[in-house]
Structure 1
């Protein structure tokens, strides 16, 4: 008689116990120390569903015949030929060697972009880069799709990106001291479900309830009312998308106009404030930035803006800014403008006051700070320094040799001949996927290593099947989590899948670097080594005792040393000369000498309102602003077919929300199939009519598996990135501009709805491979 086995594990959406019977997942139980576990954990059995898995190593037939001389437009069209692991790893090693020897290592783009799983050993991106660094290096990316422009500007103006990486005021301090909380964007458990590297306890809801219980005045600035939970008594300001910068500057200008700005704080703790003050007063361009000015841009009332400006100075005030705001054209500006507004108020460094970025954008932002070392396998020293900003992949592939700028430096795009993508799906997260599809035909060889037959894997030359985290041993943990968590193997690998460590170790062997890659350790040797490094660090630096490895592995978790009740920049505020920031002045930069010298029109020497390329202020009749945010039922495109994700769909497609007045004007009814389009592409979705969306705004979550059909390329699953704009935020930050996007919407004609049948056929074909 079989017995149910209990296996501790962790994913990006939290820790849990997997219940296994006869190598089959029969249930999932939340982690006992998690006060608000994510429902996504109940979808993990989908990983064991073979329908979307890569069953064995495979090579595109045309590439197998002609290698680098193959017809690259055959990607995604030609059949795959199964090969042995020995042949597959030989082909990969030979390609790495060929490209490096012929064109140089900069022509290898290691495009991996994390998020495959939370494990710190089998982290596909890190292992790929570790291997390639041992054979001469590669071209990498910097920053992330989630957040790029924001960290760039904060590194320049605050000296680090700590304020948007979970090191600003902790939420317990806000819950205890803040009197006025202004939420720009979201503060939602929907996005706080997830955390890179895993999370033990979801605390956002606990802190939000304390904030509500204290009666804190909450102003919620977002086009979406449900960016805050409905039980939070907030005043909703349905702002025009992409205009938060104007509101922040209008509030700052209103404070300055009343002579209530904190001149002492500006003098002691900031540099270049005179540049920003001249701009706010209208001396720079002849237009004063105040409540009336901001109201005309943001679509809000001038009176309510002026009243809030007074309250921000009269009370202990905290500004929170979502990561999503900087994923837009000129995305550096809302982060910098929020810093400017907080500096005018003068409460930075006081408990419950100032500004922080990214609360709820990940589950660990705002949680007590993990003080000790976090587990991670080293990528080793980089032999070459070749990189691109993460969201400029299509630009790189389409324009080899063309110069680009980043943080004031001019570089050139490499001549990319080989792309190796492990553990990621750019056909989910990149913008303007039709442009990416054209760029994807340029490299000579594309290798994809992934558990799932994603749209990216379907368009590869060589596909290597990796195991999911439930088919191997690992551990989870990161600097925003108060636990290190065991990730024990729950089931045997599906098909011929192998762990990422084993795959790269085999390739490293054929490249002659296996001993340096594995350092004499196998899987469990590395898991033990990574844990013991953290345990040793906690003991030596903090006198904190973590259990020995065997005890940790048996229990499934270990506590880490943390610091609660943290106030960001408190020491700097008190003694700025003794605790200087790593900026051009040692202070908070409100007027930048560096940016003044660069003289970029799209990133000026002070925070500024600059019209985005597409926004409702210049929209034509019938155009709507598209917001493509993180869905509630999955992480990105992971577990897209799991029960939590399917529950968010209707009629097999993603749901697109729009206001009842817009729906009526367009002749759209709730539940109807709609066509969404612009000059970049078109997709289908199911209409959801809701009064929790601002007029002229359409909300379509990211993550639907990219499924274009027929000669038209109509995307039938509801992937918004066939529509989004593929331009950098500015010459300085070069982040993605996904939230700067105008579209048109109409009821879908019957003949286009029939294309969904092709979508189902595609899934069936994948299952048959």
Structure 2
């Protein structure tokens, strides 16, 4: 066994940009851990990093080019998809001009070579691109107004802090390298205050938690500033000699009392006193701003008063102090390679209103959309508009890893490498180090880096000679500002390099403004913050999940429904209960969710995680407003107001389903998850583990019987079978739908008088099947779409019961799906299998770990397993889509 360790850098949308060590054995990635030699991250990496290996090798990962034919994905070659895209680009540009093409570059990766993507579209003639930001625009714009240019303290300087205020910052979930600094401050007796309307996980490592009203943080900062002024503890030299606009800002402070400001902020005066006391008596205090502060229309009314509080308290330009927000991750690169100088007047669309902007684009209209490193259909606001906008385009090209929400609307899918298969450099928006992106493994399947994609696409255009250059040549050109600081490409590939950036900005008291002074905010209208609406009483806070980065997940990793958190008293007031189904409604859309109540929650917010896929039922951005922030063209997601209502009961929502599971290895997968997603309440029993079966169908509306390794005819080893078959008949007699899967299908056949028997050979793998004439007319199967190859894993089959209708048939096993009685369906195939189950079954069966079927292992070659796995990326999602359609149709019975 050969083992290699490769130094690399995480490129995902996270401020930590951790230095990593990738361990590779025999060409396969087996471990991903923190680089102990990284000066900042020091061997620490978040739990999401270790899980990333599963993403690299996921059964859902698309590893071959795809194109849609008659609405269905089909595998294609790279030449086919590149020719197709090149021909379309040429025809659109010739007929409507380059601005009829929209290039949307997301935030998934922002490495050095990613500059060249936009350069391609500028060489094309100046395509339409995006402006503004989904995250940090408002924060950077506001701080630029105050400081002239936002520059943050190096994170290592926070070790000099005697206290820290994490203002809407959640390092436990989104900035893991700060955790050790927080713990160090606490160990030395310093306070760590989390200021956040939500109780993030970082509250657990803090000493205090302050919960202001969303968007009113500036009022809290003003109240603390007034208390410092009243105590005579302000930095007079700063106010008199290093700042401008102080008189105007003091007039704003003087116009409101501390109680009035705290009332506006929705906090007790003691919270302002806590902040003021911390800043005065645990000096220096570092204030770190999080990205939640940016998510408001008037975000500058929060951020600029916090900057001002730092100036008044005397922590600006002081080691261990500062008001730090972020770093410019494109700073180390020569940004001329974006190519914007070629077409300085080319059209741009506003990211916070991307759906509306595309729909309203004229002269020319947007005819073609190319998306890389992003999932805007899921992550941008007002998803309904974005869906309509993307459907309006003649062609959508998507570069990504999975068939996520944006891929759903694409016509061409370019399978992208992960950073572990790429050669690049990575700067950070969370610290001052640039790290190497060294390829740890060969590209999986036929995946390509975006650099390779665009290099090969450019070969089909006249400007190829300007664009096509080797990786090293481009990196040496793009990173010229980096080389001028004293490093080179060879050195960079060995480990991180710290940029020429101050540990402590503004230490000389001079700011990069026209006057050289800090600029106080000189206008403030609290009336614009008054946005209460009795019909929509809660601000929706879509916070960063702890387990994932944005929408970076697979379909199988989603729970059936999103969870929303509401104050306990508010839940009682609205007639909704903990664990119950609710509808979250905004002026823009509605979403079904499961409710969690929390006594400690603010009463004016509703909290949920962002990033869940629309197609998985987690589309929170169907609720959100699409407006830009007043400063910085950011996206004010938190300006969305919602109400929470009981989910109206009908024949599906609130209906009860009994699920009989025979093995831990055979869960309900996509089928039962879809039932739960539609609002059913599931009760799962496992008779093989001693759970009793109910005597009658009473109390349940439907029955699902799952698969398992047991033989359907073996009542001796599985004594609950007779009672279960009787129950299946009783459900059907009562007109209550029954679904049996694999073993459950065989038991359904037995329950209605048929015989089961052992086949000559095991049927295993994704098998082509076809609908019968009865199946095509069936309300459940016939309306579910084309039958894709479906997973088989069985050695037993059955005779068709008398009176049954055969709906699906196959070559090796003729009886694949039947309908009998009033509303009973048997599915011999595993339509429920998701990617997690598919990977597990194939791995375990190939190793011979499943005792029941070990004797059949030699029936299948290594080539069979390799070929089948290579088809997983299409087989698994096609099977999942079919299953969800069948489940929804079954619920209509």
Measure how far apart 1:244 and its partner are: 0.7
1:331–1:531 Cα change, 3 Å: closer
Matched, 1:500 2:461: no
Q: How does 1:453-464 map to 2 (within 5 A)?
A: 453-464=403-414
Q: 1:737 aligns with which of 627, 636, 641?
A: 636
1:507-547 Cα shifts (integer Å, max 9, x gaps): 1111122221123x2x56656x47996884343xxxxx77x
1:665–1:734 Cα change, 3 Å: same
Q: 1:513 aligns with which of 458, 463, 467?
A: 463
1:150-175 Cα shifts (integer Å, max 9, x gaps): 2122223321132xxxxx23344443
> What CA distance in whole angstroms lies between the structure 1 residues aligned with 2:507 and 2:405?
48
1:73 matched to which residue of 2? none
> What CA distance in whole angstroms lies between the structure 2 residues aligned with 1:587 and 1:636?
38
Kept in 2: contact 1:467–1:493 (CA 8 A): yes
Kept in 1: contact 2:564–2:607 (CA 8 A): yes
Matched, 1:91 2:84: yes
1:98–1:376 Cα change, 3 Å: same
> What CA distance in whole angstroms lies between the structure 2 residues aligned with 1:400 and 1:612?
31
Q: 1:270 aligns with which of 237, 243, 252?
A: 243
> What CA distance in whole angstroms lies between the structure 1 residues aligned with 2:367 and 2:213?
42
2:351 matched to which residue of 1? 390
> What CA distance in whole angstroms lies between the structure 1 residues aligned with 2:530 and 2:68?
39
> What CA distance in whole angstroms lies between the structure 2 residues aligned with 1:311 and 1:42?
37
Matched, 1:279 2:390: no
Greater alpha carbon shift after TM alignment, 23-32 vs 212-221: 23-32
Matched, 1:558 2:558: no
1:614-635 Cα shifts (integer Å, max 9, x gaps): 5xxx242783322111111111
Kept in 2: contact 1:107–1:138 (CA 8 A): yes
Measure how far apart 1:294 and its partner are: 1.5
Matched, 1:568 2:489: no
Q: How does 1:473-484 map to 2 (within 5 A)?
A: 473-478=423-428, 480-482=431-433, 484=435
1:674–1:323 Cα change, 3 Å: same
Q: 1:681 aligns with which of 572, 581, 589?
A: 589
Measure how far apart 1:421 and its partner are: 0.9
Matched, 1:142 2:125: no
> What CA distance in whole angstroms lies between the structure 2 residues aligned with 1:512 and 1:340?
53
1:212-254 Cα shifts (integer Å, max 9, x gaps): 1222233332112335241332x22222222112212233345
> What CA distance in whole angstroms lies between the structure 1 residues aligned with 2:584 and 2:355?
23
Measure how far apart 1:703 and its partner are: 1.1
Matched, 1:420 2:413: no
Q: How does 1:82-481 map to 2 (within 5 A)?
A: 82-115=75-108, 117=109, 120-121=112-113, 123=114, 126-162=115-151, 168-179=152-163, 181-193=164-176, 202=177, 204-226=178-200, 228-233=202-207, 235-255=208-228, 261-282=234-255, 289-306=256-273, 308-309=275-276, 312-313=279-280, 316=283, 317-358=285-326, 373=332, 378-385=337-344, 386=346, 387-400=348-361, 415-478=365-428, 480-481=431-432
> What CA distance in whole angstroms lies between the structure 2 residues aligned with 1:354 and 1:526?
37
Q: 1:36 aligns with which of 27, 39, 44?
A: 44
Measure how far apart 1:423 and its partner are: 1.9
Kept in 2: contact 1:51–1:767 (CA 8 A): no
Matched, 1:488 2:439: yes
> What CA distance in whole angstroms lies between the structure 2 residues aligned with 1:21 and 1:255?
59
Measure how far apart 1:53 and its partner are: 3.0
Q: 1:590 aligns with which of 520, 524, 530?
A: 520
Q: 2:563 aligns with which of 626, 649, 655?
A: 655
1:562–1:99 Cα change, 3 Å: closer
1:595 matched to which residue of 2? none
Tell me the SS of whatever aligns to 1:228. Answer: helix
Tell me the SS of whatever aligns to 1:382. Answer: helix
Aligned CA RMSD, in angstroms, stands at: 3.6
State TM-score, norm by structure 2.
Answer: 0.66
> What CA distance in whole angstroms lies between the structure 1 residues aligned with 2:271 and 2:55?
49
> What CA distance in whole angstroms lies between the structure 2 residues aligned with 1:477 and 1:154?
21
Kept in 1: contact 2:589–2:622 (CA 8 A): yes
Measure how far apart 1:478 and its partner are: 4.2
Greater alpha carbon shift after TM alignment, 392-401 vs 301-310: 301-310
> What CA distance in whole angstroms lies between the structure 2 residues aligned with 1:490 and 1:753?
48
- Give 5+ residue unaligned stretches, structure 1: 63-77, 163-167, 194-201, 283-288, 359-364, 402-412, 540-544, 592-604, 708-715
1:410 matched to which residue of 2? none
1:420-456 Cα shifts (integer Å, max 9, x gaps): 1112100222011112222333434322222221211
1:606 matched to which residue of 2? 523
Alignment size in residue pairs: 655
1:753–1:426 Cα change, 3 Å: farther
Tell me the SS of whatever aligns to 2:352. Answer: coil
1:393-431 Cα shifts (integer Å, max 9, x gaps): 123113236xxxxxxxxxxx9743322111210022201
1:722 matched to which residue of 2? 622
Tell me the SS of whatever aligns to 1:395. Answer: helix
1:329–1:536 Cα change, 3 Å: closer
Kept in 1: contact 2:24–2:440 (CA 8 A): no
Q: 1:639 aligns with which of 553, 560, 563?
A: 553
> What CA distance in whole angstroms lies between the structure 2 residues aligned with 1:278 and 1:6?
60
Kept in 2: contact 1:590–1:607 (CA 8 A): no
> What CA distance in whole angstroms lies between the structure 2 residues aligned with 1:120 and 1:133?
17
Matched, 1:698 2:616: no
1:14 matched to which residue of 2? 18
Tell me the SS of whatever aligns to 2:609. Answer: coil
> What CA distance in whole angstroms lies between the structure 1 residues aligned with 2:101 and 2:834?
31
Tell me the SS of whatever aligns to 2:444. Answer: coil
> What CA distance in whole angstroms lies between the structure 1 residues aligned with 2:427 and 2:232?
48
State TM-score, norm by structure 1.
Answer: 0.76
1:538–1:372 Cα change, 3 Å: farther
> What CA distance in whole angstroms lies between the structure 2 residues aligned with 1:657 and 1:130?
44
> What CA distance in whole angstroms lies between the structure 2 residues aligned with 1:378 and 1:666?
55
Asked which structure has the greater CA Rg, the reply is 2
> What CA distance in whole angstroms lies between the structure 1 residues aligned with 2:372 and 2:530?
33
> What CA distance in whole angstroms lies between the structure 2 residues aligned with 1:633 and 1:119?
23
Tell me the SS of whatever aligns to 1:106. Answer: helix
> What CA distance in whole angstroms lies between the structure 1 residues aligned with 2:185 and 2:408?
47
Measure how far apart 1:457 and its partner are: 1.3
1:66 matched to which residue of 2? none
Bigger relative contact order (CA 8 A; separation at least 6) = 1
1:601 matched to which residue of 2? none
1:608–1:217 Cα change, 3 Å: farther
1:301–1:82 Cα change, 3 Å: same
